[in-house]
Amino acid sequence: MRYCIAANWKMHLYPAEAEALFLALRDAWQEAPLSNLPGIIFPPVLYLQRLSDLRQGSPLQIGAQNGYPGEFGAYTGEVSMAQLAAVGTQWVLVGHSERRQYFGEGEAFLREKILSAQQRGLSVLYCVGETQAQRSAGQTFSVLTSQLEGVLRDTPIAWSRFALAYEPVWAIGTGLNATATQAQEAHAFLRAQLRTYGAPADTIPILYGGSLKPENAAELFAQPEVDGGLVGGASLKTESFLAIAKALLQKLPVS
Ligand code: PEP
């Protein structure tokens, strides 16, 4: 799988809203060409079980926005990777900038999460990206390098269950997206970095995230190194998420 579209619902939606949105997406994914496009929905953890039941037979996959390494333990408030897998979760987001920024998660802990998730059979979507201050200081590539190095060095990664999201922090939820040139440059850099860790980089999805919307999706997806998107705000409405997903169809081989 190289191309893929993902929805990060963050801490949004009441149960009935989440179910209605998921059912609308499930219907849309029922038919070609959308049914040929890998799609992943990351709902609040509370809804994973229900959406996992509803997805039976659908090509849409379900992911958790977070997970704690391990199986069981005295970690009040946490949900383990093993528990996520047990309710039918297929993916987990690791390293989202909101987790790094608000919950102080650093690379050593993120590496543990990746290892634990993969040991339980989950696929990992690992997020990286620089802040505005880091970009202004010319540190974008060194930040991306260390965000990869901190989790990949000497780590036995199952590459067939690993994807990356390039999410410049200054673009998340701000309405300011990276330009197509900035995205292409960062994605090409990340793919070259993945090769240095022995990854089959041409098969690994590198998604762009940060204020993706129907108006900018086609231009960003037209970049050869941009393999899809991780969509926050615009994934909360059926029409806007579907419009973004459809913009990615241009990348699928014609069957
Ligand atoms: C995100 O949360 O990963 C994200 C990219 O959000 P938004 O699309 O709202 O910028």
Tokens 């590496």 — which residue?
111
* Average pLDDT for 127-136: 98
pLDDT at position 255 is 58
pLDDT at position 110 is 98
Annotated active-site residue 96? The verdict is yes
pLDDT at position 222 is 97
* Average pLDDT for 18-38: 97
pLDDT band per the 50, 70, 90 thresholds, residue 109? very high
Q: Which amino acid is at 143?
A: V
Which pLDDT tens digit goes with each residue over 68-78?
A: 999 999 999 99
pLDDT band per the 50, 70, 90 thresholds, residue 253? confident
This prediction's pTM = 0.97
Cα 229 to middle of ligand 1, angstroms: 9
Which pLDDT tens digit goes with each residue over 143-173?
A: 999 999 999 999 999 999 999 999 999 999 9
**Residue 91: beta bridge partners?**
63, 123
How far out from the chain centre does Cα 64 lie?
10
pLDDT band per the 50, 70, 90 thresholds, residue 254? low
Spot the catalytic one: 105, 107, 167, 187: 167
Spot the catalytic one: 96, 105, 107, 130: 96
Q: Is 83 in the pocket of ligand 1 (CB under 6 A)?
A: no
Cα 255 to middle of ligand 1, angstroms: 31
Query: Do residues 69 and 116 make contact, with C-beta atoms less than 8 angstroms apart?
Result: yes
- What is the set of domains in the chain, with CATH numbers? 4-251 (3.20.20.70)
Question: In terms of Cα–Cα distance, which of 219, 218, 188 is closest to 206?
Answer: 188
Angle subtended at Cα 236 by Cα 234 and Cα 239, rounded to the nearest 5 degrees: 70
Tokens 């190194």 — which residue?
225
State the DSSP code for 200.
Answer: -
What does residue 14 show for φ and ψ, rounded to 5 degrees? Answer: -80, 165
Q: Which residues contact 201 (CB under 8 A, 6 or more apart)?
A: 191, 192, 194, 195
Annotated active-site residue 167? The verdict is yes
Whole-angstrom distance, CA of residue 14 vs CA of residue 143: 36
List, in sequence order, the alpha helices (H) in the chain.
15-28, 48-54, 81-86, 97-103, 107-119, 132-136, 140-152, 180-196, 214-221, 238-248
Whole-angstrom distance, CA of residue 25 vs CA of residue 103: 31
Which pLDDT tens digit goes with each residue over 191-240?
A: 999 999 999 999 999 999 999 999 999 999 999 999 999 999 999 999 99
pLDDT at position 10 is 98
Whole-angstrom distance, CA of residue 22 vs CA of residue 242: 12
* Average pLDDT for 44-63: 96
pLDDT band per the 50, 70, 90 thresholds, residue 1? confident
